[in-house]
Chain A
């Protein structure tokens, strides 16, 4: 009985030491305003058959100018292991340098290890400004 009380007391005091430490190590959630739309630059800044990474909230997005008139945008976060993808003008595909995953211009996986397609965003031109937004 005494050893149970002693053991239990020791265990409880240990728990009271470790619980605050464990909670301290878990990062508190940071509330950030959800971003649904960003201005991604001027039309003339991006040549046809090229792409660039733009900030979409705190995540990278890939904006591609396929040709003079066609624009595409995707989440630039590879669905495999979180690397940032890039546009390859030679193959006109989206490529991740980390593990050689490729996606087509609809965001679908063409080859390599990515398990899911890239999320596609809508691109609108407002005057000479390119605007990327999440699809409803």
Chain B
């Protein structure tokens, strides 16, 4: 009876075909195998965000009048609300950090080469979406810091030539950051971005599945062993996830996420204001650029610079390989080191100064 029932489902779900694929999926084993785990950790943390974000929706109210108080209610009154919101906030930050580690591991192991250009491109788009999640989610508690961070962030978007003003208006839902901005950011954060992200994650994972995992160019194919993805690699990955979950739980319990003060559009920007750490490098750069450089406005120059670097980075598969399709290892590794050094140094400077 039981066997019959299992067969009935197997037949209808095409389980054997899925099993066949799973059985054949392997992971190369070499000195850089550990970096393969970071994509999975990013995916795991995204799952945590979906679960905790959904739970927060049961209490959160996306209005200027009630937004801050509803988050305070979550933090102080709802059972374990502090834990769920703290995990959501900590996980968001860890997710961005791990996504960056994942991205730079791809750079330093030169995994962007053919035929993985689309995997790289979808990954860069996902990184942009994660920053979008961070930016839109930051405003939702409607506190003083997030209010001014959003003012600055949307103004940065607004200073893009030609289309900037329209983009800023659409983002804010009007001339200024206010009630309309909050509902827009809420819609983006819980509906628009998650749908696009889900589709892109599916594409990204499908491409990884199709093209397999890349082996760094300096490792000879003859020296590479393979392990089965199921169950060998997968179980290892799950153990790493448990470790990440433990770190997350500890961070949330020991350092619950702060709420700050309710936003007041008619108060001065508070002293020591700064954005989330992943925007600190850009924030500090904007602080350093003088008001005018030659005939250009400093702010515009800074934003153009960020845009150019981001575009060049997205096009890495084009300039990171020679005509024969081999990685330009020195050039790309050098560019990667410069970028990591810039981000690290300017993030620290943005934090301490």
Residues on A facing B (Cβ under 8 Å): 25-27, 30, 53-55, 58-60, 62, 76, 78, 80-86, 96-100, 109, 112-115
- The reply to whether B297 and A83 contact each other, CB–CB distance below 8 Å, is no
CB pair A84–B268 under 8 Å, yes or no, is yes
- Once bound together, how far apart are the Cα atoms of A25 and B283, in whole Å? 28
Query: How far apart are A27's CB and chain B's nearest CB, in angstroms?
Result: 5
Compute how far the CA of A98 lies from the CA of B154 in the bound complex, rounded to whole angstroms.
Answer: 14
Q: Which partner residue on chain A sits nearest B298 by CB separation?
A: A113
> B153-171: which residues lie under 8 A (CB-CB) from chain A?
154-156, 166, 169-170
Which of B169, B267, B287 is the one whose CB lies under 8 Å from A26? B169
Name the residue on A nearest B173 (C-beta).
A27
Q: Which chain B residues have a beta carbon within 8 Å of chain A's beta carbons?
A: 148, 151-152, 154-156, 166, 169-170, 172-174, 176, 180, 265-273, 283, 286-287, 289-292, 297-299
14 other contacts beyond A84-B148, A97-B273, with CB at 8 A cut-off? A26-B166, A26-B170, A27-B170, A27-B174, A60-B265, A76-B268, A80-B291, A81-B152, A81-B156, A81-B299, A82-B155, A86-B268, A97-B268, A99-B286
Per the bound structure, the CA–CA distance linking A113 and B286 in Å amounts to 8
Q: Which residues of B contact A25 (CB under 8 A)?
A: 170
The binding surface of chain A is classed by DSSP as: loop
Tell which of A26, A85, A98, A114 touches B152, judged by Cβ atoms closer than 8 Å. Answer: A98
A99 close to B170 (CB less than 8 A): no
Most buried by A among B166, B172, B267: B267
Q: Which residues of A contact B290 (CB under 8 A)?
A: 113
Say yes or no: B273 contacts A85, CB within 8 Å: no
Pick from A84, A97, A99: contact of B271, CB under 8 Å: A97
Contact B169 A27 (CB under 8 A): yes
Give the shortest distance, in Å, between A82 (CB) and chain B (any CB).
Answer: 4
Q: Which of B174, B180, B266, B271 has the most A CB atoms < 10 Å from its CB?
A: B266
- Do B299 and A113 have beta carbons less than 8 Å apart? yes
Asked if A98 meets B273 with Cβ closer than 8 Å, knowing A27-B180, A84-B267, A115-B299, the reply is yes
In the complex, what residues of B have CB within 8 A of residue A115's CB?
291-292, 297-299
Question: Could you pull out 16 A-B pairs where Cβ atoms are within 8 angstroms?
Answer: A25-B170, A27-B174, A27-B180, A78-B269, A80-B291, A82-B151, A82-B152, A83-B151, A83-B273, A85-B269, A97-B269, A99-B283, A113-B287, A113-B291, A115-B291, A115-B297
Residues in B with CB closer than 8 Å to A62 are: 268
B50 to chain A, nearest CB (A): 25
Q: Does the CB pair B148–A83 fall under 8 Å? A: yes
A86 engages B269 (CB within 8 Å)? yes
Given the complex, which residues of A lie within 8 Å of B270, measured CB to CB?
97
Complex Cα distance A99/B286, Å? 7
The 7 A-B pairs with the shortest beta carbon distances in the complex, nearest first, are A86-B268, A82-B155, A83-B269, A97-B269, A81-B155, A81-B152, A115-B291
Residue of B nearest to A97 (CB): B269
B268 neighbours in A (Cβ, 8 Å): 53, 62, 76, 84-86, 97
Q: How far is the CA of A127 from the CA of B307 in the complex (A)?
A: 54
Tell me the bound Cα distance from A113 to B290 in angstroms: 5
Residues of chain B with a CB closer than 8 A to A85's CB: 268-269
User: Which residues from chain B contact A58 at a C-beta distance below 8 Å?
Assistant: 176
- Residues from chain A with a CB closer than 8 A to the CB of B180 are 27
Complex CA–CA separation, A54 to B266 (angstroms) = 7
Residues in B whose Cβ lies below 8 Å from that of A98: 148, 152, 269, 273
A62 to B269, CA, bound (A): 12
List the B side residues contacting A59 at CB < 8 Å: 176
